[in-house]
Amino acid sequence: MTQIWDAVVVGGGAAGFFGAITCAGELAGARVLILEKSKHVLSKVKVSGGGRCNVTHHCFEPKLMATHYPRGHKSLIGPLHRFGVAETVQWFGERGLLLKTEADGRMFPVSDDSQTVIDCLQDAAWSAGVHIKTSTGVKSIVVKAGASSPVFEIGLDEGKPLLARKVLLATGGTRVGAGEWLARSLGHKLHEGVPSLFTFNINDARLKELSGLSADPVEVRVEGESLVNRGPLLITHRGMSGPAILKLSAWGARELHALDYRFDLIVNWLPGQDVAASFDALRQQGGTRQIFAHSPFDTIPRRLWQSLVEAARVPSGCTWSELRREAKSALVDQLSRARFTVSGKSTNKDEFVTCGGVLTDEADMRTMESRRCPGVYFAGELLDIDGVTGGFNFQNAWTTGHLAGMALAKALEAERLPE
């Protein structure tokens, strides 16, 4: 007779592991199987955060935490109350993985090594008795009528189909996985997947030879759109990156996709400052000082300052008291509303994510169960939830994976009870 798995988890990433571990840990004897199409599980955890894995963010207030998700923020408030950052930190701590917080709030393992996160998850899966099959892609899920509740026939890329009482879909971002097709085949609508968390390609003489320099804070605005962000900006050999740009790319993922990543970016290197008034003060305090030589603003590095002074065509050797009206106005423009033409995007190697996925109103966000297909659950990036950079995307995976695992265990237990 064909064996029936209690729960089959499709996808061996962060969300799938959390769901499987929670379900198997909560329900003694539950037969839980993770199916992973690639050779290795948790491969994104491995490369995440530049190899250090930014596990979560030091923000323990669910409502505030949810504001960091351009898609899904309202839907996530409830789930974060049930299993949020505090519970995540405790979960890993209880299993020997201690986290530390960096100045900007990002939380990493104290080891600074993503492998320790993988080891922790794999040990927990092993202890809970979770079965794992790698190199096993799922190509179809068919709902069959069971004695009292449906049974799912899970078609594999190779080999015989499997049977399961419950299914957790945790196949990750919809631009790459087959999860999109599986969810659609079960009657779900998805928001189209587009990239989020990318850097801007800018070919501009002002940025030449400045790769590696950063300024903080900087305000960036997309011309013609209501997209603005403020934070640290990093100049790269291809253009601009850093939190201000990555966050702008996340909040504007759909708008920038519609613009084919070609638009004008207005950069204010001195947000909140009256630059013209600062120039007047500089003229009074040290009028004989050469403008080009030193950046008078702590937040603008010298070489960037010099590039902007050149772009404003301030005459060479000009002092603050010699600065003419036109050059002054050009320098104010370069500092507070410099225009850069963005001509494409590049992948941010440290973290990227898909905007789009299964609509959150088609899942019960208390249990993560499908509202269209009872017995199917969702977790992680497959959902139309994505966060800005800083540990928010993994937190979505931990939160929704945990809730799905708890609900799976509860539903399976209820089915076990004698009539």
Q: List 239's β-bridge partners, or say none.
A: 201
How far is the C-alpha of 70 from the C-alpha of 354, rounded, in Å? 11
Smallest gap, in angstroms, from Cβ of residue 199 to ligand FAD? 13
76 binds ligand FAD (CB under 6 A): no
Is the preceding peptide bond at 62 cis, omega within 30 degrees of 0?
no
d(CA 128, CA 218): 48
3-class secondary-structure state, position 224: coil
**Site track for ligand FAD across 42-71, x = CB under 6 A:** -xx--xxx---xx-----------------
Binding to ligand FAD by residue 180, rule CB under 6 A?
A: no
Measured from the CB atom, the residue of 53 and 65 that comes closer to ligand FAD is: 53
Question: CA-to-CA distance for 346 and 200, rounded, in angstroms?
Answer: 6
Nearest residue (CB) to ligand FAD, 178 versus 190: 178
The C-alpha atoms of residue 214 and residue 207 are separated, in whole angstroms, by 11
Binding mask 294-333 for ligand FAD (x = CB under 6 A): ----------------------------------------
Q: Is 380 in the site for ligand FAD (CB under 6 A)?
A: yes
Residues 6+ apart with CB under 8 A from 314: 291, 292, 323, 327, 330, 331
Among 308, 391, 411, 412, binds ligand FAD (CB under 6 A): 391
Instruction: Give the three-state DSSP class for 165.
Output: strand
- Please report which helix (H) or strand (E) contains residue 92, including its range: helix 85-94
Q: Applying CB under 6 A, does 84 fall inside the site for ligand FAD?
A: no
Question: Looking at 65, 138, 275, 388, which residue binds ligand FAD (CB under 6 A)?
Answer: 138
Name the residue nearer to ligand FAD (CB basis): 11 or 72.
11
Binding part of the chain for ligand FAD, among 30-38, 83-91, 246-254, 313-321 by CB under 6 A, reads: 30-38
Is 231 one of the binding residues for ligand FAD (CB under 6 A)? no
CB atoms within 10 A of CB 336: 18
Q: Does 25 bind ligand FAD (CB under 6 A)?
A: no
Instruction: Outline where 252-301 has alpha helix (H).
Output: 253-258, 275-286
Between 12 and 267, whose beta carbon lies closer to ligand FAD? 12
Give the x/- contact pattern for ligand FAD in 337-356, rule: CB under 6 A: -------------xxxx---
- Of the pair 397, 407, the CB lying nearest ligand FAD is at 397
**Closer of 50 and 317 to ligand FAD (Cβ):** 50
* Residue 418: CB minimum distance to ligand FAD, A: 35
Does residue 40 contact residue 32 with C-beta atoms inside 8 Å?
Answer: no
Please tell me whether residue 177 binds ligand FAD under the rule CB under 6 A. Answer: yes
Q: Which of 368, 359, 395, 362 is nearest to 169 (CA)?
A: 368
Nearest 5 degrees, angle CA 237-CA 243-CA 244? Answer: 90
CA 415 to chain centre: 36
CA distance 51 to 18: 20
By CB under 6 A, residue 392 contacts ligand FAD: yes
Provide the edge-to-edge strand list for the sheet that holds 56-57: 56-57, 106-109, 99-101
Q: Which residues bind ligand FAD (CB under 6 A)?
A: 10-16, 35-38, 43-44, 47-49, 53-54, 137-138, 170-173, 177-179, 350-353, 380-382, 391-394, 397
